[in-house]
């Protein structure tokens, strides 16, 4: 089967392409390289020892998307392509609504026109907002989104749930938590184009001497140590979850829609992440406490029982694995830049 991976040269998309290839799928990647690099293709192919087809273009370009479906016999889609920075979305909401929602609708339109049934959607735990009860399950009531980014994921899910009722498609939305780590080969990883906004690349860039310090956004929250808490899942574990989701869709009839939390089921504070990095790397981090960031959630972590039962998926890698792989990746790309 041939799977179209939108945003496939990006961080999560590239790791998912590797796991799809390992599972025996053919992979076609569509990416506009707005926050990734074409060199990811080389890493994917070196790890998997298989070739991928690459189209450079934008999912918001309806005609371009349609051309790919015309030229390729697509059997399923995994849709990652989206802007994803919480802080940027607060400052540029129109850009986020236009890009994240129009791209999704264009993909759906082509799927229906070309009779492609299966779609795995890259959603986010941000749809929960600041949940009143933790851990969150898939039945946890959704709060008002804390950022335009989170709202685009919530609206995206609404679009997909309605589409699955009306159109001949089957869809799974994966709500994943904070994604960290890199491939253990250090051939692909998180390499943001521009200023990194996620905590782990900021940590590794600081340790590599590319930044002066790590700014932690507040340490007086209502948590055990005062720092924000997240559920940090290794990117390889997450990539495998997408393969499991596609395999589940292949067993379903049309008009199927479901959602799954993808996390470790445990919360860790920003301070605990810093400590884990210092332990595995042997590096002492320079960090300071800054002001809280608009749009950020104080604490959240997942209940993953549904994914374990119905997807046959469970995270296998821990925080130290994630920090070790992220640091190895950072050292690799820093050497290349020199």
- Determine if the peptide bond prior to 20 is cis (ω within 30°): no
Residue 97 is encoded by which pair of tokens?
Answer: 């609504």
Could you give the angle at which helices 93-113 and 148-166 cross, rounded to 10 degrees?
20
Nearest 5°: the CA angle 151, 156, 161 is 130
CA gap 52, 285 in Å, rounded: 38
Helices (H), 49-92: 62-71, 86-91
- Sign of the alpha-carbon torsion through 241, 245, 246, 248: positive
Residue 147 contacts residue 126 (beta carbons within 8 Å): yes
Assign a CATH topology to domain 2-177+234-262: Rossmann fold (3.40.50)
Query: Which of 194, 191, 202 has its CA nearest to residue 277?
Result: 202
Q: Which of 55, 149, 176, 232 is catalytic?
A: 149
Tell which wins on pLDDT, 293 or 151: 151
**Residue 312 — very low, low, confident or very high, per pLDDT cuts 50/70/90?**
very high
Q: Containing H/E element for 18?
A: helix 11-22
On average, the pLDDT of the chain sits at 95
Residue 290's beta-bridge partner residues?
217
Residue range 39-68, pLDDT digits in tens: 999 999 999 999 999 999 999 999 999 999
Q: Determine whether 37 is an active site residue.
A: no
pTM for the predicted model, two decimal places: 0.95
Residue range 88-115, pLDDT digits in tens: 899 999 999 999 999 999 999 999 999 9
**Residue 335 — very low, low, confident or very high, per pLDDT cuts 50/70/90?**
confident
CA gap 203, 201 in Å, rounded: 5
- Provide mean pLDDT across the span 228-251: 98
Residue 291 is encoded by which pair of tokens?
Answer: 């002001």
CA gap 225, 238 in Å, rounded: 27
Task: Give the CA distances from residue 20 to residues 15, 24, 66, 77, 96, in Å, rounded to whole numbers and listed in that order.
Answer: 9, 6, 23, 12, 28
**Residue 145 — very low, low, confident or very high, per pLDDT cuts 50/70/90?**
confident
**Residue 157 — very low, low, confident or very high, per pLDDT cuts 50/70/90?**
very high
pLDDT of residue 168: 97
């Amino acid at each position: 089967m041939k799977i179209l991976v939108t945003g496939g040269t990006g961080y999560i998309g590239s790791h998912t392409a590797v796991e799809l290839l390992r599972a025996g799928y053919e992979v076609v990647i569509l990416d506009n390289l707005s926050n990734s690099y074409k060199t990811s293709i080389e890493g994917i192919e070196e790890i998997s020892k298989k070739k991928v087809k690459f189209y450079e273009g934008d999912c918001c370009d309806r005609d371009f998307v349609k051309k790919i479906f015309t030229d390729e016999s697509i059997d399923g889609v995994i849709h990652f392509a989206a802007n994803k920075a919480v802080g940027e979305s607060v400052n540029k909401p129109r850009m986020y609504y236009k890009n994240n929602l129009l791209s999704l609708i264009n993909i759906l339109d082509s799927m229906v026109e070309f009779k492609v049934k299966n779609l795995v959607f890259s959603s986010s735990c941000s749809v929960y907002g600041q949940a009143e009860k933790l851990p969150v399950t898939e039945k946890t009531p959704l709060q008002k989104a804390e950022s335009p980014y989170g709202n685009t994921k919530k609206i995206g899910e609404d679009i997909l749930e309605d589409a699955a009722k009306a159109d001949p498609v089957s869809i799974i939305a994966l709500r994943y938590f904070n994604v960290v780590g890199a491939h253990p080969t250090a051939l692909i990883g998180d390499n943001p184009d521009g200023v990194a906004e996620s905590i782990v690349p900021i940590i590794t860039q600081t340790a590599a001497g590319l930044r002066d310090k790590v700014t932690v956004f507040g340490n007086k929250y209502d948590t055990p140590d005062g720092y924000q808490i997240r559920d940090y899942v290794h990117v390889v574990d997450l990539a495998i979850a997408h393969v499991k989701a596609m395999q589940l869709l292949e067993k379903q009839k049309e008009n199927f829609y479901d959602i799954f939390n993808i996390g470790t089921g445990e919360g860790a504070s920003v301070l605990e992440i810093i400590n884990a990095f210092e332990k595995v790397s042997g590096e002492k981090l320079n960090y300071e406490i800054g002001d809280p960031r608009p749009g950020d959630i104080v604490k959240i972590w997942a209940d993953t029982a549904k994914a374990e039962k119905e997807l046959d998926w469970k995270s296998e890698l821990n925080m130290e694995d994630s920090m070790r792989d992220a640091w190895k990746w950072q050292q690799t790309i820093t050497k290349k830049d020199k």
